[in-house]
Every structure is written in C-alpha cells, then in structure tokens.
C-alpha cells in the first residue's frame, strides 16, 4: 500500500485531521494519508509508546505533520485542537472522526454511566469535532465518520455501542444534506472485524481462536486489514469521490 500511495500522491497538498490516530485503524489512516502526500494532524488522550513511534514514523514521511494531545470528548480540548490545525496548517480539507471507545457490557448490566460514556466518546465527540471544523473546511472538503458494521447486524453485549454507531449513520446523512450546498461531503466508513495490534497483544492461543471465529463470519473468510480501511477513507477524502456523499460504506468482507 505504501508504494502505491507514494506513486499516486492522490492527497498531495490536502490537510487532514484524524482523531484518535495513534493506534489501530486511526494510525493506519494517518500513515496512509501522510504517505499519499497529505499534511496530517492527529490527536491522542494518553501519552505512551504508540504516540512516540507514530511521531517517529511521521518524521520520516515528507510533509508537515502534527501529533497533539487532546480529548475530543471535551469541548475545550476540541477548540484547542482545531485552533492548532488552523495555526499550523492554515485550515483543513478533511476530517476523519475515528476516535471512540467501547467496553462490552451485557444489557442488564448496562448502567447510565456506561451508556453516557459510550455516547460521549463515540457520537458527541464526532459532533464536537465536525461542528468545530466546519469553519475551517471549504468547497471540495470532506468529513468521514468511522462507524461499524454492528450498526447493521447488532452485537451481543454491545447495545450501547450499536446504538451510537447507528446514530452516527443518521448524523452523516443529515449533515451531508446540510453541508452539501457548501461543497462539503460527509460519509461513513463502517469496518467489520479488523486485525489490529490489539489482537496481537492477546495471548497467542486466544488471538488465534478469535481470528478463526471472526474470519468465519465474513464471506471472504478472513479479517480485514487496517490498510483496507485506510484505502476506503483515502478515496472518500480525495477528489475521486467528488460526487459521493451521505453514504455508509461497509468494508467488512460481507459479514
């Protein structure tokens, strides 16, 4: 993927904010966008090795890239994050709302605090970032929300997560209509089960069993890759998707 992105440079000169970009899918999007020529800003909540290694990888990638500490659940942090984007990049051409959190919980054990935390971390955060970013976005720009296939198929122990990801799809559709006259496109990418470093961190036998079980759900018989999600996002923020808006694109191997 890196070779193709560098050869294509399809995002040359574009300025992109990716929230929650130090791990997993978000990290893949950040690196793919940078390698495709974009200037990328991303954020994280807690410092650690993932932040350090991302900064090192971006330093080896041409272009101006910024890694900032910000909690996108907090309106003040969002304001500060977007002010940094304005100051360092001069505006934005795309926003990818990737940050989110989920703790599996049986419905009968789901309390009000867990419900509110899931709403705030996955839906309210996307709203705060999108609303704050609109003044920085011009004609031809894009917002991409990272959803989940569970919004369509459901998930045991994930009623709260499924609910907010379903709401994100509705938000995307309505925001696409509202921002369309300004030339701003809004779409959702809904990943299925994706192989990330979180899976690699499990005990080897547990990871192998999860790969086997979840691979069996997909028509393609395997887990998706971070690169495959990044490919879809890069398409949607590029000029190649200039007439694609209000859509929920499933990248899930047909589960």
* Positive or negative torsion for Cα 78, 163, 167, 42: positive
204, part of any domain: no
User: What percentage of the chain carries pLDDT values higher than 90?
Assistant: 86
Catalytic residue positions, numbered: 161
Q: For the domain that residue 110 is a member of, what is the CATH number? A: 3.40.50.720
218, part of any domain: no
Give pLDDT, residue 8.
60
Give pLDDT, residue 198.
77
**Beta strand extents in the chain (DSSP E only):** 15-18, 39-44, 66-69, 92-97, 137-146, 185-191, 194-195, 224-225, 248-251
131, part of any domain: yes
Residue 4 has pLDDT above 70, yes or no: no
206, part of any domain: no
pTM of the model: 0.93
Max CA pair span of the chain: 52
pLDDT tens digits for range 132-175: 999 999 999 999 999 999 999 999 999 999 999 999 999 999 99
Give pLDDT, residue 5.
44
Residue 3 has pLDDT above 90, yes or no: no
pLDDT tens digits for range 225-253: 999 999 999 999 999 999 999 999 999 99
Domain span holding position 41: 2-196+227-250
> Is the separation of the CB atoms in 142 and 185 below 8 Å?
yes
How many whole angstroms separate alpha carbon 145 and alpha carbon 233? 9
Q: Hunting for tokens 């894009």 — which residue is that?
A: 142
Which element (helix H / strand E) includes 169? helix 159-179
Q: How many separate domains does the chain show? A: 1
How many whole angstroms separate alpha carbon 39 and alpha carbon 25? 18
Average of per-residue pLDDT values in the chain: 94
233, part of any domain: yes
Average the pLDDT over 198-207 and give the result.
78
* Positive or negative torsion for Cα 238, 243, 245, 250: negative
Q: Taking the mean position of all CA atoms in its chain, how far away is CA 153?
A: 20
126, part of any domain: yes
11, part of any domain: yes
Average the pLDDT over 195-209 and give the result.
80
pLDDT tens digits for range 46-87: 999 999 999 999 999 999 999 999 999 999 999 999 999 999
Average the pLDDT over 18-43 and give the result.
97
């Amino acid at each position: 993927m890196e070779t193709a992105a560098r050869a294509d440079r399809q995002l040359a000169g574009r300025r992109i904010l990716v929230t929650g970009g130090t791990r997993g899918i978000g990290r893949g999007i950040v690196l793919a966008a940078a390698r495709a020529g974009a200037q990328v800003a991303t954020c994280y909540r807690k410092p650690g090795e993932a932040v350090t290694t991302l900064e090192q990888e971006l330093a080896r990638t041409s272009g101006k890239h910024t890694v900032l500490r910000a909690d996108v659940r907090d309106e003040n942090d969002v304001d500060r994050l977007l002010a940094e984007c304005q100051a360092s990049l001069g505006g934005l051409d795309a926003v990818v709302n990737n940050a989110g959190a989920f703790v599996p919980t049986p419905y009968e054990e789901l309390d009000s605090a867990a419900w509110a935390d899931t709403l705030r971390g996955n839906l309210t955060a996307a709203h705060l970032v999108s609303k704050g970013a609109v003044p920085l976005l011009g004609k031809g720009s894009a917002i991409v929300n990272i959803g989940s296939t569970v919004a369509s198929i459901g998930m045991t122990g994930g009623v709260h997560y499924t609910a907010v990801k379903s709401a994100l799809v509705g938000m995307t559709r309505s925001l696409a209509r509202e921002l369309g006259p300004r030339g701003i496109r809004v779409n959702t990418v809904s990943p299925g089960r994706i192989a990330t470093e979180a899976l690699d961190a499990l005990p080897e036998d547990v990871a192998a069993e999860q790969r086997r079980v979840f691979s069996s759900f997909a028509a393609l018989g395997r887990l998706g890759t971070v690169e495959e999600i990044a490919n879809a996002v890069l398409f949607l923020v590029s000029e190649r998707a200039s007439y694609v808006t209000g859509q929920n694109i499933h990248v899930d191997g047909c589960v």
